[in-house]
Amino acid sequence: MSLIDDLLASALEGEVLDVRIGLHWTAVVAEVAGQRRCGLASTLQGPSDHTGEPDIPEAGRLATYSGLELASLLRSESPLQRSVGGAALNALLPRQVGEWPAQNAEQVIASLGAGKTIAIVGRFPFARRIGHLAKELLVLERDPRPGELPEAAAADVIPRADLLAITGMTLLNHTLEQLLALAAPGATVLVVGPTTPLSPILFEYGAHMLSGSVVTNIEAVIGAVSQGANFRQVHKAGVRLATLRRHDRLKRQGSG
């Protein structure tokens, strides 16, 4: 069983009510046990070819899928279908929202990583703000800019890190499980960003903290997603940040 298999096996069934694929974010609305939920995932763009095979063969009919059928698109070879699958999964995962406090991932990384080697997979705006606190800050990105490292350097860089923060988008790229496996045994590992599945299953694969998102105003959020909103706009429309911790590890490190 892979990480994706385990996450899909834990998901609840639900009736798909709406699917929105926006410029930056994809949203899936489903009814699960009588409750309307909305899951988010980053929109991954494949090669642009308007005359070739469609990215979404069932475009216009995705709401006829069951929730689990839609979530299973996370296994697809198509980046856009994986975005739909990731959003559906986040709508269907079991929830204990009241027990998930909001927490600023930047502050956690800054406090736990002060004076240590920090590796960040993904381009986060806070990286530049915390760089001066770290002994060494290493940022890996699929399309690196000056000062960043290519993803091919992961096998060399990640085992050196005392603290590792991985974007939840790597689940959509099918690389999250491999990245988690590269972490040193004593490293603290966080998976962060709105795409992150808030599931304790990730703790079984080596994560210690998950920082993701919960949609609190479905109509406003899917409206914003449909009109090309970035996450700052989607957050303002009705998203609450939420944190799930593996307490046995983070409490020993004095983080609460």
Shared domain for 79 and 25, answered yes or no, is yes
Asked if residue 256 belongs to a domain, the reply is: no
Number of Cβ within a 10 Å radius of residue 129:
11
- Boundary-marking domain end, from 75, 98, 121: 98
* pLDDT surpasses 60 at 170: yes
Residue 22 shares a structural domain with residue 73:
yes
20, 147, 165, 247 from 141: Cα distances, Å: 27, 10, 12, 29
pTM for the model stands at 0.92
Q: Is 227 inside any structural domain?
A: no
Could you tell me the pLDDT band of residue 41, with boundaries at 50, 70 and 90? very high
For residue 255, is pLDDT > 90?
no
Q: Decide which of 42, 71, 98 is a domain's last residue.
A: 98
The torsion region of residue 163 among left (phi > 0), alpha (psi -120 to 50) and beta comes to beta
Q: Which SS3 state, helix, strand or coil, does residue 30 take? A: strand
Q: What angle do CA 248, 130, 132 make, to 5 degrees?
A: 120
Q: What is the DSSP string of 92-109?
A: HS---GGG-----HHHHH
Contacts for 35 with CB less than 8 Å, ≥ 6 apart: none
Q: What are the beta bridge partners of residue 20?
A: 27
Tell me, what CATH number does 166's domain have? 3.40.50.11590
pLDDT category of residue 254 using cuts at 50, 70 and 90: very low
18 lies in the same domain as 46: yes
Specify whether 124 is located in the same domain as 189.
Answer: yes
Q: Quick one: 13 and 84 in the same domain? A: yes
Work out the pLDDT band at 163, boundaries 50, 70, 90.
Answer: very high
Residue range 170-175: average pLDDT?
Answer: 97
| C-alpha pair distances (Å), 199 with each of 12, 52, 94, 95, 114 | 12, 37, 8, 8, 27
Asked whether residue 62 is assigned to any structural domain, the reply reads: yes
d(C-alpha 92, C-alpha 14), whole Å = 7
Residue 233 lies in a domain: no
Task: Give pLDDT, residue 98.
Answer: 73
Residue 193 is predicted with a pLDDT of: 95
Predicted confidence band of residue 248 (pLDDT cuts 50, 70, 90) = low
What is the pLDDT at residue 96? 81
Average pLDDT over residues 105-132: 91
Residue 87 pLDDT more than 70? yes
Rounded Cα distance between 218 and 208, Å, is 29
Helix (H, G, I), strand (E, B) or coil at 56: coil
Out of 6-20, 54-68, 73-87, least confident range: 54-68
Is 218 domain-assigned? no
Of 98, 123, 142, the domain-final residue: 98
How far apart CA 250 and CA 162 sit, in angstroms, is: 13
7 shares its domain with 90:
yes
- Note the pLDDT of residue 47: 65
Total domain count for the chain? 2
CATH of residue 80's domain is 3.30.390.100
Strand-strand pairing, 25-32 and 15-21 = antiparallel
pLDDT digits (tens, 9 = 90+) for 180-230: 999 999 999 999 999 999 999 999 999 999 999 999 999 999 999 999 999
Do 73 and 138 belong to one domain?
Answer: no
Q: pLDDT band at 56, cuts 50/70/90? A: confident
Structure-token pair, residue 188: 């603290």
- Let me know whether 153 and 92 are in one domain: no
Domain range for 83 is 3-98
Quick check: 253 pLDDT over 50?
A: no
Report the pLDDT value the prediction gives residue 149, as an integer from 0 to 100.
97
